């Protein structure tokens, strides 16, 4: 088997150096490259400056087999990635008539009314002999070439275009560099911390070489990636299957999905498949749960709506929770969480209701500590409540509170014990 | 005046190369460095590997006056930034007894019950002769030293710690490197695109050298930064004041705040100062508006709660909007937006109500195009509505819809025409 190839990602753009935006392209490409079995050893970022970009490329040549650039392919005079890279590798640029036509028709089709200025056609200049990557998501084509023992891949900077072109253009190109197929699946895990999940799988992680099993921490979640390299896709899948089976045997209940986008997508899919609906009543999370549900196109099929009851009065007025109960038990209590869930379910005529209350901080609550929260799930057959201690940090506490709500419903819909959770954060 | 210094930010951590997380530290530091008048020319990212980190540091030495590292200061055997940097510059590490005590007391104080393992004290080893940066937000101290004509600053990786230590420890250190004061203010702008704002200020941007005026695009907003360099803080402020005045004269209404965190923070401050409250009714944004309001600690003072009415039925049931109106005008109409705002205001007994409805896509709405949305503001004296065309992209449409709602209330509270808006997106 070949030695794994080493890649360097070069982000080109002064806006990255000014701190206008984080380099999410490097993150996205790194994740996808690692799924291809390609090691990313370096990221570099440089501004729209030809000398400095040249310098960075010369360094990358020496230490990487694959150079991937993002950004600097656009129509303005600042956009000089193709020129500099071509020059670095001694290639000329040619005017690609076909790509010029594609750019013209993009403007005609997508940007009704917007006038195409001539400089847009500058994007049709490409390094001679390159593989052209047509951009179906914007105007700047990308490309790839091989020179001086280095594979060079150039992608546009806007994250949506960069991700799509990597997936649909660069991946097929990079796969031809290897005579083997690399297949990878992601097991999404919620309910235990990374170190705890690692403890339960460490022997496998250490022993396995092909397929490999590797953990990634993701904002309160863990992702496990199983990657196999084989002569064919089928063979790779056959190698992966028993590894997934063993992981399932060990931590099955914690796995909420394989190759699924997010916990909310998992819950959406489960509800959607059975035409069930969910209503929400949020205090501590202030709408974050409903926001995440409605991030998903088509959310209206499963989510009629919800309440954000951020004060005691609104819990009383909108959800009919007695003021006496709030005063006696506290707004952050399992009793109030359950009532919130049940009222939301009833008032919206939904199959399920979720209620969530807690202290997000930074100031300590009157009757409890920051990070204490209660999530309740109301169902046809009764209600469940989970008490949580979510550590510190307002943003993190709110995110974990939402994750816990979604996890409870996910567990209910898959026939698992709803409340059980080994670690709360 | 000195030549501006050049900085390079080196992110250390395999998790960055695996794509687990975006390099937000580099973004945050870049933004803050540019406010100090320091030019960032390069970002680099390298894994927890001593040889490769050494290589990256050697390159940075040659091209930067200031090297700032983030990450790799922790207690595990992977954390080797201090060792490698000290070695690169020929410095020894010493065990700082005082920092060791600080680490011990951090565990005793903050992590009640969590046992401190011995390896945590490894963090007290620091390069000889360095300026120690005490970490009041975590356990790993940072530091700075000057060697081989290079200033080296080491900061921890977790974003919260990195940002805080830069601000409270690194900034004072970096300021001593210059005999002049650099002061910078941010004017936050909403309501016109970057190119339109630039058009109106281009002559100033081009002509000014000290202070400088520079624009930054920020998710549908624009930030203008005015930076002055002078012998004293007072002198710098005096130089900045007339520039801000002129910008205000030209685009005054679009400026929602100076040195303010966000549009929601601006609205929160305005409401809070007058003890006024806001209630929400969200359709297209599905809770994103209330989520952003409740991102702010103390939001409960101005925000009692809201409704997420994602279906026609919930608009009818929760807000009492007649089904006939929805059927006649459409759920995405100014009439429905206004009713939503008015009902939210009434039902929650708030001073203001915001209603927001629209098509986020990706599928086209029945009666209109993706990106069409209506935001309504209900007040004591009547209601206002803004019709918007927010372009494409579900996430962007939703974000811009929320921004528009907040902008309407901001304008109302500052006595400006509420509906007026030159560009909708």
Q: Is the pLDDT of residue B295 over 80?
A: yes
CB contact under 8 A, B311 and A299: no
Report chain B residues whose CB lies below 8 A from the CB of A218: 20
Q: Which pLDDT does position A422 carry in this prediction? A: 38
Task: Enumerate the residues of chain A whose CB falls inside 8 A of the CB of residue B298.
Answer: 363
Q: In angstroms, rounded to a whole number, what is the distance separating the alpha carbons of residues A347 and A365?
A: 29
Query: Among A44-53, B117-126, B284-293, B401-410, whose mean pLDDT is lowest?
Result: B117-126
Tell me what the mean pLDDT of segment A76-83 comes to. 87
CATH code reported for the domain at B6-175: 3.40.980.10
pLDDT interval class at A425 (50, 70, 90): very low
- Helix B263-273 to helix B394-413 angle, to the nearest 10 degrees? 30
Which of B20, B55, B291 lies at the smallest CB-CB distance from A291? B291
| pLDDT for the residue B423 | 37
Q: Which residue has the tokens 């927890």?
A: B48
Contact: B307, A308; criterion CB under 8 Å:
yes
Asked whether residue B231 carries a pLDDT value surpassing 90, the answer given is: no
* Closest residue on chain B to A315 (Cα): B305
Contact B294 A303 (CB under 8 A): no
Q: Mean pLDDT highest for which of A130-139, B57-66, B197-206?
A: B57-66
Mean pLDDT of B94-116: 79
Interchain pair A295, B395: CB under 8 A: yes
Q: Which of B4, B15, B19, B268 to mutate to test the interface with A (most CBs of A within 10 A)?
A: B19
User: How buried is residue B160: exposed, middle or buried, by Cβ count under 10 Å (0-12/13-18/19+)?
Assistant: middle
Beta strands B6-12 and B66-70, pairing class: parallel
Contact B305 A309 (CB under 8 A): yes
Distance from CA of B325 to the nearest CA of A (A): 19
Rounded to a whole number of angstroms, the distance from the CA of B63 to the nearest CA of chain A is 10
pLDDT at position A112 is 54
Q: Highest mean pLDDT range out of A64-78, A306-320, B75-89, B133-147?
A: A306-320
DSSP state of A79: -
Superfamily of domain B263-413: CinA-like (3.90.950.20)
- The whole-number pLDDT of residue A199 equals 85
Confidence at residue B368, expressed as pLDDT on a 0 to 100 scale: 62
B377: confidence class by pLDDT, cuts 50, 70, 90: very high
User: pLDDT band for position B286 (50/70/90)?
Assistant: very high
A368 compared with A20, residue with greater pLDDT: A20
State which residue of chain B sits closest to A361, comparing Cα positions.
Answer: B297
Looking at this predicted complex, what is its ipTM? 0.81
Q: Which residues contact A112 (CB under 8 A, 6 or more apart)?
A: none
Which residue of B lies nearest to A25 if distances are taken between CA atoms? B22
pLDDT band at B2 (very low <50, low <70, confident <90, very high): low
Answer yes or no: is pLDDT of B142 > 60: yes
Domain B181-258 is found in CATH 3.30.70.2860:
yes
Radius of gyration of chain A (CA): 26
A26 contacts B23? CB cut-off 8 A = yes
The CA distance from B145 to B154, in Å, is 9
pLDDT at residue A366, as a whole number: 54
CA B243 to CA B255: how far, in whole Å?
A: 14
Of B22, B287, B298, the CB nearest to A290: B287
How does the average pLDDT of chain A come out, rounded? 91
DSSP state of A29: H
Residue A35 to chain B, least CA–CA distance (Å): 9
Chain A residues whose CB is inside 8 A of the B160 CB are: 393
What single string gives the DSSP state of each residue in B316-339?
Answer: HHHH---HHHHHHH-SSSHHHHHH
Q: By three-state DSSP, how is residue B197 classified? A: helix
What is the average per-residue pLDDT within B63-70? 97
Of A19-28, A176-185, A303-312, A331-340, the one with minimum mean pLDDT is A176-185
Give the per-residue pLDDT at B52.
Answer: 97
CB A23 within 8 A of CB A69: no
- Contact list, A45 vs chain B (CB under 8 Å): 26, 42-44
Q: How far is CA A330 from the centre of its chain?
A: 37
A217: Cβ contacts below 8 Å, ≥ 6 apart:
A194, B15, B20
* CA pair distance A171, A161, nearest whole angstrom: 14
Strand partners, B189: B222, B255
At residue A295, the 3 state secondary structure works out as: coil
- The answer to whether residue A225 scores a pLDDT higher than 70 is yes
Give the mean pLDDT of A51-78: 93
Report whether pLDDT(B247) > 70: yes
* pLDDT(A314) > 80: yes
Query: What's the pLDDT band for B136 if we cut at 50, 70, 90?
Result: confident
Tell me the mean pLDDT in the region B22-33.
95
Count Cβ atoms within 10 A of the Cβ of residue A164 and give its class: 0-12 exposed, 13-18 middle, 19 or more buried. middle
Does residue A214 register a pLDDT over 90? no
Instruction: Give the number of other Cβ atoms within 10 Å of residue B263's Cβ.
Output: 23
Torsional class of B134: left (φ above 0), alpha (ψ -120 to 50), beta (otherwise): beta
The helix or strand, by DSSP H or E, that contains position B268, with its residue range, turns out to be: helix B263-273
Q: How many CB pairs under 8 A join A and B?
A: 237
Locate tokens 């040195």: which residue? B259
- pLDDT on residue A423: 37
Write down the pLDDT at residue B42: 98
Q: What is the mean pLDDT of residues A113-120?
A: 72
Residue of A31, A160, A347 with shortest CB distance to B318: A347
Average of per-residue pLDDT across B251-266: 95
Nearest CA in chain B to A284: B294
Q: What is the mean pLDDT of residues A189-209?
A: 87
Query: What's the gap in Å between the CA of A273 and the closest CA on chain B?
Result: 19
Beta strands in A259-363 (DSSP E): 278-282, 305-309, 352-358
- Residue B355 pLDDT: 98
Q: In what order do the strands lie in the sheet with A6-12?
A: A131-133, A142-147, A150-155, A66-70, A6-12, A39-46, B39-46, B6-12, B66-70, B150-155, B142-147, B131-133
For all residues of chain B together, what is the average pLDDT?
91
pLDDT higher than 60, residue B365: no
- pLDDT tops 60 at residue A164: yes
Contacts of B362 in chain A (CB under 8 A): 297
- Distance between CA atoms of residues B352 and B95, nearest Å: 59
Reading the block at residue A51, the tokens are 């000398």
Residue spans per domain, chain B: 6-175, 181-258, 263-413
Looking at the predicted structure, is the pLDDT value of residue A329 above 90?
yes
Question: Does A17 contact B28 at a Cβ distance shorter than 8 Å?
Answer: no
Cβ-based contacts of B22 with chain A (< 8 Å): 22-24, 26-27
Distance CA B161, CA B70 (A): 10
Cβ–Cβ under 8 Å, residues B121 and B79: no
Contact B43 A33 (CB under 8 A): no
- Residue found by looking up tokens 């509800």 in the block: A271
B chain contacts of residue A288, beta-carbon cutoff 8 Å: 287, 291, 294
Looking at chain B, which residue has its C-alpha nearest residue A365?
B298
**Given this chain, do its domains A6-175 and A181-258 carry the same CATH topology?**
no
CA A230 to CA A212: how far, in whole Å? 12
For chain B, how many residues are written?
Answer: 425
Q: Is the pLDDT of residue B87 over 80?
A: yes
Residue B97, classified by CB atoms within 10 Å of its CB into exposed (0-12), middle (13-18) or buried (19+), is: exposed
Please compute the mean of the pLDDT values over residues A318-345 and round it to a whole number: 96
State which residue of chain B sits closest to A299, comparing Cα positions.
B310
pLDDT average, residue stretch B217-224? 81
| pTM of the complete model | 0.83
Helices (H) and strands (E) in chain B, counts: 15, 17
pLDDT bucket at A367, cuts 50 / 70 / 90? low
Nearest by CB to residue A40, choosing from B11, B17, B310, is B17
- Residue of chain B whose alpha carbon sits nearest to that of A34: B18
Asked whether residue A308 carries a pLDDT value surpassing 90, the answer given is yes
CA distance B56 to B34: 23
In the predicted model, is pLDDT for residue B181 greater than 70? yes
Residue A359's closest chain B neighbor by CA?
Answer: B297
């Amino acid at each position: 088997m070949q030695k794994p190839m080493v890649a360097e990602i070069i982000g080109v753009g002064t806006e990255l150096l000014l701190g206008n935006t984080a380099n999410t392209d490097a993150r996205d490409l790194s994740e996808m490259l690692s799924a291809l079995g390609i090691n990313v050893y370096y990221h570099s970022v440089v501004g729209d400056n030809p000398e400095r970009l040249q310098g960075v490329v010369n360094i990358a040549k020496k230490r990487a087999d694959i150079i991937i650039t993002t950004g600097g392919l656009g129509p303005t005079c600042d956009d000089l990635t193709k020129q500099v890279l071509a020059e670095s590798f001694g290639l000329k640029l040619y005017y690609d008539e076909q790509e010029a036509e594609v750019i013209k028709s993009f403007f005609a089709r997508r940007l009704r009314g917007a006038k195409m200025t001539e400089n847009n056609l500058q994007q049709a200049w490409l390094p001679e002999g390159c593989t052209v990557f047509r951009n179906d998501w914007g105007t700047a084509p990308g490309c790839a070439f091989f020179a001086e023992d280095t594979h060079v891949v150039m992608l546009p900077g806007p994250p949506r275009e960069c991700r799509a072109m990597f997936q649909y253009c660069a991946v097929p190109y990079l796969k031809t560099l290897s005579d083997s197929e690399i297949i990878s699946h992601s097991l999404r895990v919620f309910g235990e911390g990374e170190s705890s999940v690692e403890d339960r799988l460490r022997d496998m992680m250490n022993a396995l070489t092909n397929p490999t099993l590797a953990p990634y921490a993701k904002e309160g979640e863990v992702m496990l990636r199983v990657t196999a390299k084989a002569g064919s896709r089928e063979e790779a899948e056959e190698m992966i299957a028993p590894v997934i089976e063993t992981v399932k045997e060990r931590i099955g209940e914690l796995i909420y999905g394989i190759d699924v986008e997010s916990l909310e997508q998992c819950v959406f899919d489960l509800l959607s498949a059975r035409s069930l609906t969910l209503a929400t009543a949020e205090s501590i999370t202030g709408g974050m749960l409903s926001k995440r549900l409605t991030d998903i196109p088509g959310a209206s099929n499963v989510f009629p709506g919800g309440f954000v009851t951020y004060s005691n009065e609104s819990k009383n007025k909108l959800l009919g929770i007695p003021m006496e109960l709030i005063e006696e038990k506290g707004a952050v209590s399992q009793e109030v969480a359950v009532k919130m869930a049940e009222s939301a379910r009833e008032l919206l005529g939904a199959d399920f209701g979720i209620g969530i209350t807690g202290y997000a901080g930074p100031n300590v609550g009157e009757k409890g500590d920051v990070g204490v929260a209660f999530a309740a799930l109301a169902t046809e057959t009764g209600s469940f409540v989970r008490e949580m201690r979510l550590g510190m940090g307002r943003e993190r506490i709110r995110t974990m509170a939402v994750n816990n709500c979604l996890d409870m419903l996910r567990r209910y819909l898959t026939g698992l014990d709803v409340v059980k959770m080994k670690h709360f954060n």
